[in-house]
Structure 1
Amino acid sequence: MRTLNSEDVRHFSKGANFLACHIDPAAVFAYEEMIVQALPTGDVRLINIDELDPNDLVVALGFVTQGLAIADMPPVGDEFVRCIQAIEQRLGRKVSALYSLAAGNINGILPLMTGLQTGLPIVDSDPMGRVLPLISQTTLTLGGVRISPIAVTGVTGEHSTLDVEDPQRAETLVRSLVIELGGWAATAMYPCTGQQLAEHGIHGTMTRMIKIGEILGAEEPVESKYVQLMRLLNATRVARARVKHMESFSRDKALGLPTQTTSLTLVAEQTGQIIRLEIGNEILLVLVDGAVAAAVPDIITLLSADLGQVVNLDDVRVGQLIDIFLTPAAPIWYTEAGLNLAGPPAFGLQLQHPRCHA
């Protein structure tokens, strides 16, 4: 078990941004500050998966958004606590620990606040190992773990509990409910045992965010930070490139995918190669001179070349010099089942992933 301090939380926030291909920096910062301010009143305990009893009940927490930024209508603060209580009432037993629905962005850091509020520990595991846009895109789905009951609490405090067998159907229902609830909702889902999470989760992901944040926040040259990130994450730098063109399309998108597709065109500084990023809620595809260099579920991160800090997609501007980093996802995402659930075809891209060989 590890008790987190304020420096850990700030590192956690930076790491959560790095692993989010499309960050909500205002919301992440707000949660970071709330957690740091609340630390004197309690502890945030981070536990390893092997510290759970196999029969312990654990539950995933996460925001689901649809058209409303969390920072535009901040939570009151009790939404996730109410979701946990709803799960306990439905199942007739107490929750022993919490885990994040996704190891990145706002969903990476928010369980820390709920842990402070409830006294429950946070498991150093999650079912994505990164951020994916759909609640059905988890390793728990691949392992056959039930997604429901799902507790949902909306912007205005309205709440509901859903029982649904099929994860894809759950995605449709929850996304529709979120729209009716005002644009975002706090959710608790995938209630499972410690043994199920041990067998089907991705482990060490919370600690990884802290380590990434430590590297990014260090007073060191940018290139030194990059070497450390590559070593920690088995990451590679695809290119250092300058943004030349930005465009948006009104293509049809699959139900549940929150945003329309955008494309960025960049030119590599040293080689002059043309780099194109296809974006639909996150960076889905990286093309270098027309060849596929990376594709979802690869984690693609944009860093400012001068500072080595994460660049949010909304803040990219023409003329900006950016380092494009590729971090491999968890190995399970490159299996046939994993790619079917969260690879290019799941996002309407009919192409073979570059990690697959004919």
Structure 2
Amino acid sequence: MSTRRITEHDVPALALGCALLGTGGGGGVEPEVLATTRALREHGPVPVVTLADLADDDLILPLSAIGAPTVAAELLPSGAEAGAIRRVVEARYGRAVAAVMATEIGGANGVAPVGWAAGLGLPLLDADGMGRAFPELQMVSMNVAQIPPSAVVLADTVGNVATLDTVDADWAEQWARALCVASGSSAVLADFVMTAAQARTGVIAGSVSRALRLGTLLREAADPLPALIAELGAAHLVTGKVAAVARRTEGGFVHGTATVRGTGPYTGTEVVLDLQNENLRARQDGRVLAVVPDLIAVVDAYTGVAVATESLRYGQRVAVLSWACDPIWRTPRGLALAGPAAFGTDLGAADAS
């Protein structure tokens, strides 16, 4: 078995890395830092396992929060959701869950599974289903690999629990989103419950380790922004001031735009970000600079710490970075599920120059 463990002392670095990989979404990490630290103090460190540590028929429970990040910042979970979901899943499959997995490593959804695993007394798998954050349930690597969504189980903060049997992941997204909106646009979700054998074909391995590594770099680097750019191999699109933000919560998502006006060597440059929970596209004067499924992050210009879409405010000094997604998202099926056209309108292809 893997000897790696996540302790309460690892949580700040993990949160910084998850916030960065959240590309603006996945929910703000600050509430989950508090909740996860408390869970680790109460239940002890969480072992981190790899797929090599698991038997083929071991059951993996992917968990995430679903809803609008702006709502989740105020409508806090009860703490009982993960346990309620586990009971339903184990009753349905007739055996115990072997490990928890973060459905998405980005944002709060990368941090919260550590606390959930601690409370459930389970290890955490060093993997996820996105390598970043995406706003919709079907936008996961398990769906790219055509692993069925199985039963989808939702639990909300007041104790409601629902199990959905859907014909595919697109229907799972529609039904789960409708229930989430009915619960105030905030709930906890399990989907794509799978065996370790299935997971070997369709998860993004090493996600937890990567988030910890990125967060540690941000905490320890003497000059975080250049160090981060070098570590990620990122394109530095602009550094400047947030000049305008327009957001609305609709259908369980945060939609909108943010404009960053360049300063210093970027004076005269204005980059507009299109948002749907995450940063979907960066454009300048009608030219697309970066677009999903590649990652686009807004970070503090001095510390490199990521700024979530719901936290963008006029006057913030930020940098906008972009870097390549996991190769699974560049496959034809990956692009169909989470490329530009998957967001209801053709966002356009990133400029290749």
| TM-score between both structures, scaled by the size of structure 2 | 0.91
Deviation by residue 1:174-201 (Cα, 9 ceiling, x = unmatched): 1111122333111111111102111111
- Change over 3 Å in CA distance of 1:137–1:292 after alignment to 2: same
2:190 is matched with 188
8 Å contact kept, 1:249–1:262: no
Deviates more, 1:124-133 or 1:4-13: 4-13
Pair 1:306-2:309 in alignment: no
| CA RMSD across the alignment | 2.3
Q: Percent identity?
A: 28
Deviation by residue 1:94-148 (Cα, 9 ceiling, x = unmatched): 1111101101111111111111112111100111111000011111111111112
| TM-score between both structures, scaled by the size of structure 1 | 0.90
Pair 1:336-2:332 in alignment: yes
1:45 is matched with 47
CA distance in 1, matches of 2:9, 2:231: 20
- Change over 3 Å in CA distance of 1:177–1:200 after alignment to 2: same
CA distance in 2, matches of 1:116, 1:185: 19
Pair 1:259-2:259 in alignment: no
- Change over 3 Å in CA distance of 1:113–1:259 after alignment to 2: same
Structure 1 counterpart of 2:111, which letter? I
Gaps of 5+ in 1: none
1:126 is matched with 128
Deviation by residue 1:293-351 (Cα, 9 ceiling, x = unmatched): 10011211111213332223333333433211112111111122211110110113325
8 Å contact kept, 2:25–2:277: no
Following superposition, the deviation at residue 203 of structure 1 comes to 0.7
CA distance in 2, matches of 1:353, 1:76: 41
8 Å contact kept, 2:291–2:347: no
- Change over 3 Å in CA distance of 1:205–1:281 after alignment to 2: same
In structure 2, the residue corresponding to 1:36 is in which secondary structure?
helix
CA distance in 1, matches of 2:263, 2:345: 24
8 Å contact kept, 1:22–1:313: yes
Aligned residues: 349
Q: State how 1:153-192 maps to structure 2 within 5 Å.
A: 153-192=155-194
- Change over 3 Å in CA distance of 1:231–1:48 after alignment to 2: farther
CA distance in 2, matches of 1:36, 1:66: 23
Structure 1 counterpart of 2:277, which letter? N
1:32 is matched with 33
8 Å contact kept, 2:47–2:124: yes
1:323 is matched with 319
Following superposition, the deviation at residue 66 of structure 1 comes to 4.6
1:273 is matched with 269
CA distance in 1, matches of 2:144, 2:71: 29
2:15 is matched with 13
CA distance in 1, matches of 2:157, 2:247: 29
Following superposition, the deviation at residue 246 of structure 1 comes to 3.6
Gaps of 5+ in 2: none
Deviates more, 1:257-266 or 1:56-65: 257-266
In structure 1, the residue corresponding to 2:242 is in which secondary structure?
strand
